[in-house]
């Protein structure tokens, strides 16, 4: 199945925890819909000229969050495309408000075991998981962040293969028309 006849009239934003598959599924979804794909982390790194982990180390998390908010504002106001939002982007009140107002937001919801398996034992170099047990860190973040992610327009089960998750998103989007 390709993207069906769903025509995006605004950006589609994937939100959720690290390991939910926002980037992997986002790329697939973008290909299915014939839309460009962009990742807020990549956008922040590009504009800052620093990788996300380096930014946390050298400038601190607050500086990263400020730039992340700028990237969200820019992308939310842009043309239809698929956007993978870094796990904290939708937790920020301003960012969440912008995304809810101008985009279609989809929460990729997966269990902690799945998230932990996907980020790997070293957390894939993610600053918030560094030096911590990824499973415990993700469980704590899930507890804190669920209420924010639950504000997204759609909740999609993010367990299973990429193609199946993309299918579920397309079905949710098509059903909303
Ligand atoms: C973060 C998630 C990361 C990245 C940063 C902080 C978070 O993005 O933005 O390390 O606060 O959850 P991914 O969700 O794409 O891994």
Over residues 101-122, the pLDDT tens digits come to 999 999 999 999 999 999 999 9
Residue to substitute in 55, 126, 127 for testing ligand 1 pocket (most ligand atoms within 8 angstroms of CB): 126
- Give the torsion sign (CA, 102, 119, 129, 58): negative
What is the predicted pLDDT for the residue at 177? 66
Residues found in the chain: 177
Q: Which residues contact 28 (CB under 8 A, 6 or more apart)?
A: 162, 163, 166
For the chain, where are the E strands, in sequence order?
Answer: 12-15, 37-39, 82-84, 104-109, 154-157
Q: From the CA of 18, how far away is ligand 1's center (Å)?
A: 6
Residue nearest to atom 2 of ligand 1 (CA): 87
Q: From the CA of 37, how far away is ligand 1's center (Å)?
A: 17
Q: How many CA atoms lie within 13 A of 152 on its CB side?
A: 25
What is the predicted pLDDT for the residue at 1? 54
Q: Which residues of the chain have pLDDT under 70?
A: 1-2, 4, 177
Domains and CATH numbers, the chain: 12-172 (3.40.50.300)
Distance of CA 89 to the CA centre of its chain: 8
Beta bridge partners of 141: none
What is the predicted pLDDT for the residue at 4? 67
Tens digits of per-residue pLDDT, 45-72?
Answer: 999 999 999 999 999 999 999 999 999 9
Residue nearest to atom 10 of ligand 1 (CA): 126
What is the predicted pLDDT for the residue at 176? 77
């Amino acid at each position: 199945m390709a993207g069906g006849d769903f025509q995006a009239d605004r950006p589609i934003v994937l939100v959720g925890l690290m390991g939910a598959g926002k980037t992997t599924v986002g790329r697939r979804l973008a290909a299915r819909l014939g839309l460009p794909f962009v990742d807020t982390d990549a956008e922040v790194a590009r504009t800052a000229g620093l990788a996300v982990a380096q930014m946390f180390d050298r400038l601190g998390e607050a500086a990263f969050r400020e730039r992340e908010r700028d990237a969200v504002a820019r992308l939310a106001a842009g043309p239809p495309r698929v956007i993978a939002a870094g796990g904290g982007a939708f937790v920020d009140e301003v960012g969440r408000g912008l995304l809810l107002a101008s985009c279609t937001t989809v929460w990729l919801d997966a269990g902690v075991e799945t998230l932990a398996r996907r980020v790997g034992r070293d957390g894939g170099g993610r600053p918030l998981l560094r030096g911590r047990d990824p499973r415990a860190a993700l469980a704590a973040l899930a507890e804190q962040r669920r209420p924010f992610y639950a504000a997204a327009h759609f909740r999609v089960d993010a367990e299973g293969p990429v193609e199946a998750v993309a299918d579920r998103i397309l079905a949710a989007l098509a059903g909303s028309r």
